[in-house]
A and B are shown apart, each in its own frame.
Chain A
Amino acid sequence: MSTEQTPPAAEAEAPQGPGVGVDEWVARSSGRREYAPGRLGEAQRLLERVPWWVILLAAGLAGACVPFLTTNDFQLQIGINAMLLAILAVGLNISVGWAGLLDLGYVAFYGFGAYGYALVSSNQLNPPAGVHWSTYISVPVVMIAAGFLGVAVGWPSRRLVGDYLAIVTLFFGEAFVEFTNNVAPSKLGGPNGIVSIDPYKVFGTTILTNKGYFYVLLVLLVLTVGVLHLLDTSRTGRAWRAVREDTLASSLMTIPVFRVKLMAFAFGAAVAAMAGTVFAAQQINVFPTDFATPFLILIYAGLILGGAGSLAGAVLGGLILSVTLDGILRSPTEAGYIFYGLILATLVVKIRPWARLGAILGATVLFGIVVHTIVKAISPSAVAGGPQSSGWISDLVHNWVVVPSNPTRAGNIAYVVLLVLVIALVQVKGRWRDILMVPTLYLAACVWEGVLVAQPSITRQILLGVILIVMMNARPNGLLGRRRVEVV
C-alpha cells in the first residue's frame, strides 16, 4: 500500500490488464459488464469514455438552469430540499455504501451541524448581543467539530460490527433528539428550538432568497461529489471497500482498519454537518424534531433508491425521492400524477409482454366500470363521494372509482383490504397473479381517491415505507448501484 504510484503514462494508455490498485478479479467482473444491445449500448460505451468531471460539471450547469425556468418560490424550495437530501445521501454513502458501516445515527450529525451553526450565528449564546461568526469561520469550524464527533461516535466500531454498531448509533441519534429537547433549554431552546438564525453571507452578500440558497447548495453539492469522487478513487476509498468486503483480510493486508473506519465516520459527519448549516441558515430556525428518525429513514431511502456505493446513485436517489415526496404535498393533482405515474411505471417495467400489460390494464378499466355501475344501481350514496383529487385525472376517474359520500370508514376498510390483497399478490404466482392484480389496482385507485389524497403528509410517509420495502425486495442494489460481488 505504501509504495503506490501510478505513472501518468500508464493511465493515458488505458492498460489492458487490471489497473493499479484494482483487484484483478473485480476488474475482470466489472469489465464483463453487459451493455444494452444496439444503439443504446454504443451510447453507454461512449458515455463511459467521458471524463467524470465533465459529467459532473454538465450536471451542475444543468442544475444552474433550473431557477431560470421558474420563479415560484415553492418550487425552488423543493429544489433546495432535494439537494439537501442529495448531499446527505452522498455523505451517508461514505459509511454505509463504501465502508459498509451501518450508521443509524447519521441524522444527528446533520442536526449537530444545524445546531452548531445556529449557536454561533444567533442571539442564543451570550445574550443580548449573541454570537455572530462569519460564515467563512462558522461553517468550517462546525464541519470539523462534526468530524470529531463522528470519530467519537465511530469509536465503538473498534469492537462492534453490524447490527450492534447500528443500534449504538441509533441510540446516539435518539439521544441527540432527547438532548436538544431537554438539556439547557436556555441555550438550546428545548422543543422551541433556536430561532432567527443569521443567513449565509458569502462574497459580501447576505443570502436571503431561495434562489440564493439554491445556488449555494448546487455549488456545495458539486464540490462534495467532486471531492468524494477523488476520495473514492484514492487509496482511502479502496481501503474502505476492502474493509467492507472483508475486514479480516484487509487488516492482514496491513490496512489500518480502525483508522479507516473512523475516517469514514468523520467524513460522513462533516458532510452532514455542512448540509445542516445550510438548512439552519435557510430555514432561519431549527427544532429537535427536524432531526428525528423519520428524516433518517428519508436519507436511507434516498441512498437505497439510488444504490448504496454509487455516488451518482446517491445524488440521483436523493433528488428523485425528495422531489417525488414533496410533489405529493403540493397539490392533489400533482400527487395524482405521481401516484398513477408510479403505478404505471412499475407495471410497464415489471409486466411483459405488452399484450399482457394491455390485458391487465383493460381488465382493470372494465372491472372499474362494472363495479361502479353495480354499486350505483344498488346504492347511489355509495358512489356519491367522488374522487377527492382535482383536475383532469379526477374528471377521468369520476365515474370509475367508488368513493362513498363519507369515505372515512369505508376507506379504512378498503385500505386494510388493499394491504391484504397486496400481500396475497406477492404470494401467488402465474395466472392467479394477473387475475388478482385487476381488483388490487382498482382498489388502490379507490383508496387513493377516497382516503390518501386527503391526507398527503401521511401518504408521503406510507409511500416512503413502501419504497424501502419494495426496493429492498426487488432491487437491493438500487437504480445505479452495481450488484455486489459476493464472496462465496
Chain B
Amino acid sequence: MRFFIQELVNGLTQGSLYALIALGYSMVYGILKLLNFAHGDLYMVGAFVGYFVIQWFGGSTALTIPVPLLLLFMFLLAGGGVGMLGVAIERFAYRPLRDAPRIAPLITALGVSFLLENSMLLLFGASFRDYNTSAFIPFSSGIHIGVLNISLTRILVIVLSLVLMIGLRLLVDRTKLGRQMRAVAEDREAAEMLGVNVDYTISMTFFLGSALAGIAGVMAGLVFNQIYTLMGFVAGLKAFTAAVVGGIGSIAGAMLGGLLIGIAEAMISGYISSTYTNLIVFGILIVVMILRPQGLLGRAPLQKV
C-alpha cells in the first residue's frame, strides 16, 4: 500500500508536469488548430532558464538569496522568458502561415522544434546539468511516514500546478481575454468581425501556454534534477497525447489527461517494468486515439461540408 501511494505521488508529480505542458498544447491547438511540436522544447528552455537563475544567485550550494525568493525568480523568469519566446515563435514562424494548407504550419513546427533543440545544443552542449535541488530544499523537509517519502519539492510542484490550472481555468472562463480566446477558437473570422483583436489574442494564448511550459520545465528541474537539451521532445509528445486523451481544446481534459498519463506511467514502471514504460504508454495512446479520437472530455468535431 505504501508502495502504491509512493508511486501515486510520483505519478501525480509527473502528471502535473504533463498537464501543464498539455494545457499549452491544448490552448494553441484549440485556437489555431496547430500541432505545435516546438512546445515540448519550450519546456526544455524553461528548465535551462531555471538552472541559470540558480547559477546567477551563487549556485545551489551557496545561494545568496533566500530559497522562496529564488523559487519566485525562477518561476517568474522561466515563465516570462519562455512566454516571450513562444510569442516570438508565433510571430516569426506561424503567423505567415495562418491561412496556408494545414501541412505547412505542422512541418514548420517540426522545423522550429529542431531549431530550438539544436540551438540549445550549440549554446550549452549535450552534457546533463544538475539542479542539485536537495542542496537548498533539504530532502528531510517533506512528509515522511515510515518508508513513505514525499519530498517538499513534489508537494510544491503538485500544489503549484493545481493553482496554475485553476487560475487558467478562471482566466479562460471569467475574463475578457478568456472570452476572446474562446471566441477566436470557435470561429476566427466571426470573432474578428465582432471586434476581437485576433492577433493579440493568439499572441496572448501563445504567451500563456508557453509560460506554463516554461514553469513546468523549472519544476522538472527541481524534481528530477537532471536537465538536458533533448528532454523536450518526448515530454512534449506525451503531453500532447495527454491533451488528446483528455480531449483537445478542453482545459479540464488536458489536466485529466496529464494526470492519467503520469499516473499510468508511474504504475507501469512501478509494477511491470520501467523498460517497457514508454512502449506501453505509446500503445495505450494509439488505442485511445483510434477508439475515441475526440478524447475523454472532448466533443466530436462537427465536420462542415
A interface residues with partner B (beta carbon < 8 Å): 96, 102, 156, 159-160, 162-164, 166-168, 170-172, 174-175, 178-179, 182-183, 248, 293-294, 297, 300-301, 304, 308, 412, 415-416, 419, 423, 426-427, 451-452, 455, 458-459, 461-462, 464-469, 472-473, 476, 484, 486
B33 CB contacts on chain A under 8 angstroms: 163
Q: When chains A and B are docked, how far (Å) is the Cα of A265 from the Cα of B67?
A: 55
Contacts of A461 in B (CB 8 A): 114, 117-118, 121
With contacts A160-B293, A473-B97 taken as known, whether A175 is within 8 angstroms of B282 at the C-beta atoms is: yes
Query: Cβ of B289 and Cβ of A168 under 8 Å apart?
Result: yes
Binary flags per residue of B235-257, CB closer than 8 Å to A gives 1, else 0: 00100110010000000000000
Residues of chain B touching chain A, judged by Cβ–Cβ distance below 8 Å, are 29, 33, 35, 88, 91-93, 96-97, 100-108, 110-119, 121-123, 233-234, 237, 240-241, 244, 275-276, 278-279, 282-283, 285-286, 289-290, 293, 305
Give A294 to B119 CA distance when docked, in angstroms: 14
B108 touches A469 (CB 8 A): yes
Minimum CB distance partner of A156 in chain B:
B290
User: Smallest Cβ distance from B108 to chain A, in angstroms?
Assistant: 4
Closest to B100 in A: A476
| Cβ contact within 8 Å between A462 and B118 | yes
- Which one of B106, B279, B290, B293 lies within 8 Å of A178 (CB-CB)? B279
Query: In the complex, A462 Cα to B35 Cα: how many Å?
Result: 21
Most central of B112, B244, B293 by chain A CB within 10 Å? B293
Kindly provide the distance from the CB of B144 to the nearest chain A CB, expressed in whole angstroms: 34
A417 to B282, CA, bound (A): 39
Q: Is the CB of A472 within 8 A of B290?
A: no
Tell me the bound Cα distance from A153 to B186 in angstroms.
32
Cβ-defined contact, B123 with A416, below 8 A: yes
- Find chain B residues with CB under 8 A from A452 CB: 122
Q: In the bound complex, do residue B244 and residue A159 qualify as a contact, i.e. CB atoms below 8 Å apart?
A: no
Q: Which of A304, A415, A455 has a CB less than 8 Å from the CB of B107?
A: A304
Contact among A166, A301, A412, A467 with B123 in the assembled complex (CB-CB below 8 Å) = A412
Closest to A160 in B: B293
Is B35 a contact of A300 with CB atoms below 8 Å?
no
Q: How many A-B residue pairs have CB under 8 A?
A: 134
Contacts A297-B110, A297-B114, A465-B111; A159 near B290 (Cβ below 8 A): yes
A-B contact pairs, 12 of them (CB 8 A): A156-B290, A160-B290, A160-B293, A166-B35, A182-B276, A293-B233, A297-B111, A301-B111, A415-B123, A423-B91, A466-B115, A472-B97
Contact with A484, one of B101, B108, B276, B278 (Cβ below 8 angstroms): B101
CB distance from B40 to the nearest CB of A (A): 11
Contact check: which of B103, B114, B116, B244 meets A96 at CB < 8 Å? B103
Q: In the complex, how many angstroms separate the beta carbon of A59 from the nearest chain B beta carbon?
A: 27
Q: How far is the CB of B47 from chain A (nearest CB, A)?
A: 17
Q: Which A residues lie within 8 Å of B275 (CB)? A: 182
Closest chain B CB from A38 CB (angstroms): 33
Whether A465 and B118, one on each chain, are in contact in the complex, defined by CB atoms closer than 8 angstroms, is yes
Contact B102 A178 (CB under 8 A): no
The docked-state distance in angstroms from the alpha carbon of A284 to that of B96 is 45
Residues of A within 8 A of B289 (CB): 156, 160, 164, 167-168, 171
Cβ–Cβ contact A162 & B115, under 8 A:
no
